[in-house]
Amino acid sequence: MLTGKTILVTGGTGSLGKVLVKRLLTGELGLPRKIFIFSRDEAKQHEMRMSYMNKHAATDEIIFRNFQRMLDFRIGDVRDFHSIAESLRGVDVVFNAAALKQVPTCEYFPYQAVLTNIGGPENIVRAIQELGLPVQTVVGVSTDKACKPVNVMGMTKSLQERIFIQANMRCPDTRFICVRYGNVLASRGSVIPLFHDQIRNGGPVTITTPDMTRFLLSLDQAVDTIFAAYKEANRGETYIPRVPSARVVDIATALIGDRPIQSVITGIRPGEKLHEILISEEECHRSVSRGSYYAILPMLPELSDGKEYTAALHNEFSSADNVMAPAGVVDMLRHYRLMLDDNLQEDGELLR
C-alpha cells in the first residue's frame, strides 16, 4: 500500500514519529520510495540521523547528500506555511504527528498551542488546496483530550480534527482521516518516565488523585492505529483503538513494587480531567465497529456515503469504564517492559 510512495512525517523526531518511521522502514505496508522527516529540532534530527547511520558521534558532514537518501531530514515548522508547502511537493502520504502536547505547557502558553496544533494542520490543507498538490492521504494524529475538551491541548487538537475532516471538501482529491487515542506508554512527557525518575531518586512518587484513570497503549499500538486507519478509513473518519484503562495510582504502585518509596497526593494539575473519553455520547450514534477499532463517521452530511449503519456504542467510551485490576496493570507493564526500557534508556530495572 505504501510501496514506492513518498511519505512526509511531521514531528518525525518525536516519540511517536520515531517509532512510526521505524515501522515504515520495515516495509510492513510496502517499502516507501522516500520518507521526509520534518521537524524544527536540529539536535533531534542530528541524533536520529546518526542512529540510522550507526554512528555514535559525528560532525556536520553527515548531512551531506542528505537529499539523496531514503530518509530525508527536513528542518521546518508546520507553523510556517512556506516550509511545510515546500516539503509537501511530490509527497503522496502525510502523517501529521507535529504537536504541542503537554497539558500544563499548553495551559500557560495557549496561543503557542494554537499556532502548532491548529495553524499547522491549516497550513497543510492550505498548501494542498492552493498549490494543487496531488497528495493522496493525510492522517491527523489526535488525542483523547480532544473529546469533550477542558484544556487548551484538547481544544486545539479537537479543532485539528475538524480542520482535517472538513478538508475533504476543500481538497476533494485528497483523503483526510484522523486517529484519536489515549496515553502512550513511556512517550516523552508522559507519566511513566516521571514516575521512573522519581523512583530512581528515592521518591516520593507524586500522584494527582487516587481516582484518576487513563487509557493506556504502547507506541506500537499507536502506530497500529495509524496504519489501520490508513488501510481502512473512509474520507472524514476518525479511528479509535479499543484499549484498556487503568488508575494512575495502580501504575505508580506497579512501578514502585517492593521498594521503600512513598507516594504523595498533589491534586489535579491545571487542565487535567479525572477521566478521559475517547468517544463522547454525541459521537456514539455515528461510531461503528471495525475489528479492533471504532470508526467515528464524519458529522458533515456532505461527507456521508448515505448508507445505514448500526451504532457500535450506546454510551461514551470513558477511561472510567472497564478499568484494569492492579494485577492487570503489572502484567501490561511487564509485557511492554523491553519497549519501556528502550524508550527510557534504562538498564532493565523498571519492574523487578
**Which are the catalytic amino acids?**
145
User: For residue 75, what is its C-alpha cell?
Assistant: 528542518
- Report the Cα 186 to chain-centroid distance in Å: 12
In the structure grid, which three cell numbers stand for residue 286, read together? 455515528
Closest CA to 200 of 18, 305, 36, 346: 346
SS3 annotation, 200-243 = HCCCCEEECCCCCEEEEECHHHHHHHHHHHHHHCCCCCEEEECC
Q: Nearest 5°: CA angle at 188, between 182 and 190?
A: 50
Q: Do 153 and 106 meet the contact criterion of CB atoms below 8 Å apart? A: yes
Cell, residue 262: 512513598
End-to-end Cα distance, the chain: 42
